[in-house]
Amino acid sequence: MKKTSHSQMLLRKAGFTLIELLVYIAIVGIVVIVAGQAFSNSTKMRMRTQSMLKASEVAENVAALFKADIAQTGAKSSMEAGGATGGDNFSAVNDSVYMDPGNADEDKQDFSSFSVTTTDVYSDLKVRRIHYDENGYYQSVEEVNWFVDDGVLKRSCRTIEGTADEENCKRATAAEARANAVEIATGLSKFKVKPALPGVTSDKVAQVFPPCDASGVCAEEFRLVPRTGESDYLMSTITYTSDYKIAEISGFGTNYDKTHNAENATGQLVNQVLVMENADNSATGWRNLCKEITLEPKTEYELSFSLADAGESEKMRMFVPGRDQMSVGFRSTKDGSRPQGLDDFFFYPPVDEDATGIRTARFSVPQKMTRLCIAFTFVSYSPVAADGKVTISELRLKKVESSNYKFDYPEGMLSLKDKANVKALSLAFGVKRNGEEGSDSLVIHIPSNGPKD
């Protein structure tokens, strides 16, 4: 029997069998496939991300341009009557800035400065505004039209009257301007505009207090009732002018111990007066006398009043901000507490008897609040300020018309008359790039829409 040499055995061990080679090839193939798939997925993800970023970039650019256009809706009066060489006049209004102010049928007169029609997800919006020259004087009335044509967002501008900007807004008919519209973005998947339904549609209902009658005439008179009968609440002295339009408040308590020249160590003496209607009332207690008010959510309110010194200026000048306190807010008739989520608003007293000024606070509430009374609170620590007097007049609580926006209402609910009171438009739109969508939504304030700036 022939023996195998040692070198032959080493050669046999150093080689591969056919089975081993096939296994190695299979493993390498799997690795290549997995790596190739990972690379392909990475490429697709990169392309998808780029498409998403591109779509989002286009959406942001459209939003910026649209907002710049629409925010000027209804701009109508600024020095145009005087012209470049005449006197300035801020009251003149060019009627052509309105959509249809001269309709023979008064019920169809349109004193708004926009029109919008919507089919499915695409809107056609027209807005009118005054164009001013570089000096701020009237130059022309323009109409800007935003619309979607076969998935392409377009914008046109035409001059209705005045001196046209021949480069950007030529004098033209609506049809001519539309035919020469500029492409803004392609691949539009949505372009939907909706006007806000104004919660306040006229001055008749804008004022909450003093109350207004059925014809829309609002009262100016008011009275105040001291909060007493509770621990730490002190009686205030209140006097009125004969017409009940001005109330003088005095008799403030002090938290300063003059004997020891220091603040009271315990307790806090508070003066609080609550607002009531100007009417004789036999009821007793501030809860039964004060005017109860309901505050609605998603509504901006403005509480304002005029504050003047009542001839005790040298004492009121001793008021120390951050130490002494004057504030206005609301209190619940249920338990006398301040409503959660609605802080008081602090203010300073006049510095001399000639000083007057309107104090104004704007606010909104997170949810509906009922059975509230307007309350003025005074807490004094200075030894002299408590001996002063203040007068309150022109007290008003109003809804802020331009900030009360509601978009979720049924189609057809917005009347032609209400259009002039619309102070905001909402826009929702989307742009697609290679199957990826970028979208945006915004609310644009249009404070000049309607017959008043």
Q: What is the CATH number of the domain that holds 281?
A: 2.60.120.260
**pLDDT tens column, 122-161:** 999 999 998 887 767 778 899 999 999 998 999 999 999 9
- Binned at pLDDT 50, 70 and 90, residue 85 comes out as very low
110 and 233 assigned to the same domain: no
142 and 237 assigned to the same domain: no
222 and 163 assigned to the same domain: no
Give the number of domains in the chain: 2
250 and 324 assigned to the same domain: yes
220 and 365 assigned to the same domain: yes
146 and 194 assigned to the same domain: yes
Measure the CA–CA gap between 172 and 157, rounded to whole angstroms: 9
Instruction: Please compute the mean of the pLDDT values over residues 440-449 and round it to a whole number.
Output: 82
320 pLDDT more than 80: no
238 and 187 assigned to the same domain: no
Asked whether 419 and 402 are in contact (CB, 8 A), the reply is: no
Measure the CA–CA gap between 290 and 414, rounded to whole angstroms: 36
54 pLDDT more than 70: no
* Element holding 63 (H helix, E strand): helix 18-70
**pLDDT tens column, 333-373:** 999 999 988 999 988 776 555 555 788 888 888 889 999 99
Residue 79 included in any domain: yes
At 244, give phi and psi (nearest 5°).
60, 35
From residue 418, give the alpha-carbon distance in Å to each of 216, 331, 387, 403: 17, 34, 51, 15
Task: Please indicate whether residue 268 or residue 401 has the higher confidence score (pLDDT).
Answer: 268
**pLDDT tens column, 156-214:** 999 999 899 888 999 999 999 999 999 988 888 889 999 988 755 444 448 899 998 87
Half-sphere exposure (Cβ direction) of 355: Cα atoms closer than 13 Å: 13
3-class SS letters over 220-283: CCCEEEECCCCCCEECCEEEECCCCCEEEEECCCCCEECCCCEECCCCCCEEEEEEECCCCCCC
What mean pLDDT is reported for the chain?
A: 81
236 and 385 assigned to the same domain: yes
Residue 9 included in any domain: no
CA nearest to 196, candidates 453, 452, 450: 450
Residue 61 included in any domain: no
Residue 134 included in any domain: yes
14 pLDDT more than 70: no
Residue 12 included in any domain: no
Instruction: Please compute the mean of the pLDDT values over residues 205-233 and round it to a whole number.
Output: 88
Query: What residues form DSSP beta bridges with 250?
Result: 237
331 and 412 assigned to the same domain: no
- Give the domain-ending residue among 364, 382, 400: 400
305 and 175 assigned to the same domain: no
pLDDT at 277: 95
- Binned at pLDDT 50, 70 and 90, residue 403 comes out as low
Residue 1 included in any domain: no
Q: Which structure tokens are listed for 21?
A: 């080679």
At 10, give phi and psi (nearest 5°).
-65, -40
Three-state SS at 171: strand
The pairing of strands 138-149 and 122-132 is: antiparallel
pLDDT at 31: 74
Report the amino acid identity of residue 242. S
Residue 24 included in any domain: no
Task: Please indicate whether residue 62 or residue 327 has the higher confidence score (pLDDT).
Answer: 327
Residue 309 included in any domain: yes
179 and 232 assigned to the same domain: no
Domain that holds residue 128: 68-198+405-445
394 and 262 assigned to the same domain: yes
